[in-house]
């Protein structure tokens, strides 16, 4: 081939990451060949020992790649096996097997432990959120909509709002994990294995729960890659939103939180600056992961049946997206574990106008329809603006001119702690509601086998 075409065609520079999975699949396939007497017992032993030696070379960084010969991880491993045990025996390993089924199997085998690692760090992250929410439950801060101060909430309630998204991501990941457990090995290039290999044995030996039911579909099936990319996109979107909040809260204008030095950088010009680059990188890498998902969907949307070389484009996005997602989760775990909060700044940011809804609720309890109380509370806000005071400082006389239902007990409305405690319905920001949310996360983790 043309020299540039060789480089353009080869995948070993990236699919070498699949070497363990490829060797694992080859050992299982060799066992399947032994069951058919296509390998003798002695040949099987030599193949397995040879493959284990190849794996050790990869592990120790001693595997020597032969340029222009080792096109991909499959040919590289088989070439080295032949050098170690002889071509006459190594050449039997590929009997009835195609690289089409190999790569489909390798990618699933590679993804399985990687998804387990993602699940593990997400459980750890949920544990940190629950522990912080419990220990910092007394801290009250402004809650925002449209980035405008809205109502007082507990800091723990804000933290648990993000934990709720993460818990949803973890539940969705379980579904993705289930759907990679379909073994394509033993389907040949597209039409099936001509030697009647026992696919049930291959699947069982590799730890798959099911057998891919159709050989033509099996070699072309990258739905599990799409699912992982799409799952990662949504999970990263949630991390990006969390990061955005923390970036805003860490500014001097807010000062609610301070990101630890271990997850910050300085400015090359301004010595006073401390930049939350860890969070900004998560926010930026989210776009990268989303792009991989949409890009690969575009790749497969018009492919004809069975394997096409376009599918080589499934490997790099999968490897990169899983790595990026894992690193992002580890970083956000570190940020939240070391984050310093400033309760005084949060408290000082609370203003009486955030209790306008509580004023409306006060009148509701006196029998006034909410739509009317909403209008009355708006009048109280306007009156405070006219007087140049907060709504808590509007005199009772002025309040009675707006509505005769106001009485001296209205003073009890202007208390931030009481305001959050009034939000006591399930999922609210009261102490009891927040503790119930924490308990739900702890119970979920305990069920997952990761009790706090």
Q: Which residue has the tokens 């694992």?
A: 24
Answer whether residue 60 is part of any domain: yes
The domain boundary residue, chosen from 295, 313, 348? 348
Residue 446 lies in a domain: no
With cut-offs at 50, 70 and 90, classify the pLDDT of residue 30. Answer: very high
Q: What is the mean pLDDT of residues 139-166?
A: 97
Q: How confident is the model at residue 259 (pLDDT cuts 50, 70, 90)?
A: very high
For residue 145, what are the domain limits? 100-193+207-348
Which of 325, 348, 371 is the C-terminal boundary of a domain? 348
pLDDT given for residue 321 in this prediction: 97
* Residues 80 and 57: beta-carbon distance below 8 Å: yes
pLDDT recorded at residue 451: 39
Is the same domain home to 88 and 107? no
**pLDDT one-digit tens code per residue, 405-438:** 999 999 999 999 999 999 999 999 999 999 999 9
| Mean pLDDT on 214-237 | 98
Q: Do residues 79 and 148 share a domain? A: no
Is 238 a known active-site residue? no
Of 40, 53, 68, 267, catalytic: 267
What pLDDT does residue 178 have? 95
21-24 long-range contacts (CB < 8 A, ≥24 apart) are 21/105, 21/106, 21/107, 21/109, 21/110, 22/73, 22/74, 22/77, 22/102, 22/106, 23/51, 23/52, 23/54, 23/55, 23/77, 24/109, 24/206
Domain contains 438: no
Q: Is residue 223 part of a domain?
A: yes
pLDDT average, residue stretch 120-128 = 98
Residue pair 433/426 in contact (Cβ under 8 Å)? The answer is yes
Q: Which of 219, 236, 197 is nearest to 39 (CA)?
A: 197
CATH of the domain at 413: 1.10.40.30
CATH number, residue 333: 1.20.200.10
**389 and 322 fall within a common domain:** no
Q: Are residues 243 and 146 part of one domain? A: yes
Which pLDDT does position 397 carry in this prediction?
A: 92
- Within a domain: residue 447? no
* Cβ contact 81:93 at 8 Å: yes
Could you tell me if 22 and 66 lie in one domain? Answer: yes
Q: What is the pLDDT of residues 66-123, one digit of tens each?
A: 987 899 999 999 999 999 999 999 999 999 999 999 999 999 999 999 999 999 999 9
226 in Cβ contact with 296 (< 8 Å): yes
Q: Which of 339, 449, 436, 437 is nearest to 119 (CA)?
A: 449
CATH code: domain of residue 77: 1.10.275.10
- Among 16-20, 139-143, 385-389, name the one with the lowest average pLDDT: 385-389
If asked whether residues 30 and 156 sit together in one domain, one would say no
Residues 8 and 132 in one domain: no
pLDDT of residue 413: 94
Exactly one of 146, 194, 268, 302 is catalytic; name it.
146
**116 and 149 part of one domain:** yes
Residue 361 lies in a domain: yes
Q: Are residues 341 and 237 in the same domain?
A: yes
pLDDT grade, residue 127 (50/70/90)?
A: very high
Q: Are residues 144 and 160 in the same domain?
A: yes
Instruction: Examine residue 198 and state whether it is found in any structural domain, yes or no.
Output: no
Q: Looking at the structure, do residues 362 and 324 belong to the same domain, yes or no?
A: no
Residue 435 lies in a domain: no
Whole-number Å distance between alpha carbons of 166 and 123:
9
Task: Give pLDDT, residue 271.
Answer: 62
Q: Which of 323, 348, 373 is the endpoint of a domain?
A: 348
**Tens-digit pLDDT profile for residues 388-406:** 999 999 999 999 999 999 9
Tell me, yes or no, whether 55 and 109 share the same domain.
no
* Residue 267: active-site member: yes
Share of the chain above pLDDT 90, in %: 93
Instruction: Quote the pLDDT of residue 7.
Output: 85
Indicate the number of domains in the chain: 3
pLDDT tens string 262-316: 999 876 667 667 899 999 999 999 999 999 999 999 999 999 999 999 999 999 9
> Confidence band (pLDDT; 50, 70, 90) for 452?
very low
The share of the chain scoring above pLDDT 70, in percent, equals 98
């Amino acid at each position: 081939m043309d020299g540039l075409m060789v480089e353009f065609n080869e995948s070993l520079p990236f699919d070498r990451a699949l070497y363990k999975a490829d060797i694992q699949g080859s050992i299982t396939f060799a066992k399947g060949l032994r069951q058919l007497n296509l390998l003798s017992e002695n040949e099987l032993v030599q193949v397995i020992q040879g493959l284990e030696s190849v794996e050790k070379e990869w592990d120790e960084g001693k595997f020597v790649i032969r340029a222009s010969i080792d096109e991909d991880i499959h040919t590289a491993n088989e070439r080295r096996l032949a050098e170690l045990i002889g071509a006459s025996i190594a050449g039997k390993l590929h009997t009835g097997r195609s690289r089409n089924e190999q790569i489909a199997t390798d990618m699933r085998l590679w993804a399985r432990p990687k998804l387990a690692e993602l699940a593990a760090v997400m459980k750890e992250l949920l544990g940190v959120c629950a522990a912080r929410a419990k220990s910092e439950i007394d801290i009250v801060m402004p809650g925002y909509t449209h980035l405008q101060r809205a109502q007082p909430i507990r800091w723990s309630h804000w933290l648990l709002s993000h934990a709720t998204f993460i818990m949803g991501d973890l539940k969705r990941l379980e579904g993705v994990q289930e759907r990679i457990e379909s073994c394509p090995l033993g389907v040949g290039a597209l039409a099936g294995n001509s030697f009647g290999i026992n696919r049930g044995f291959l699947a069982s030996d590799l730890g798959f729960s099911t057998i891919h039911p159709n050989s033509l579909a099996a070699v072309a099936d990258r739905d599990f890659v799409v699912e992982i990319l799409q799952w990662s996109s949504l999970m990263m979107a949630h991390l990006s939103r969390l990061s955005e909040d923390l970036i805003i809260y860490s500014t001097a204008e807010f000062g609610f939180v301070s990101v630890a030095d271990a997850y910050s950088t300085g400015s090359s010009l301004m010595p006073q600056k401390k930049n939350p680059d860890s969070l900004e990188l998560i926010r930026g890498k989210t776009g990268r992961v989303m792009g991989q998902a949409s890009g690969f969907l575009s790749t497969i949307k018009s492919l004809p049946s069975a394997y096409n070389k376009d599918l080589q484009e499934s490997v790099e996005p999968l490897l990169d997206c899983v790595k990026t997602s894992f690193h992002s989760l580890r970083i956000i775990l570190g940020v939240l574990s070391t984050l310093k909060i400033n309760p005084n700044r949060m408290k000082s940011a609370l203003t009486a106008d955030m209790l306008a809804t509580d004023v409306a609720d006060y009148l509701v309890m006196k029998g006034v329809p909410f739509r009317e109380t909403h209008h009355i509370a708006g009048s109280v806000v306007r009156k405070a603006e006219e007087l140049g005071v907060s709504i808590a400082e509007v005199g009772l006389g002025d309040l009675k001119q707006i509505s005769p239902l106001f009485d001296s007990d209205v003073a009890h409305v202007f208390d931030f702690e009481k305001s959050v405690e009034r939000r006591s319905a399930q999922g609210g920001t009261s102490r009891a509601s927040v503790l119930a949310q924490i308990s739900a996360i702890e119970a979920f983790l305990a069920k997952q086998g990761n009790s706090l």
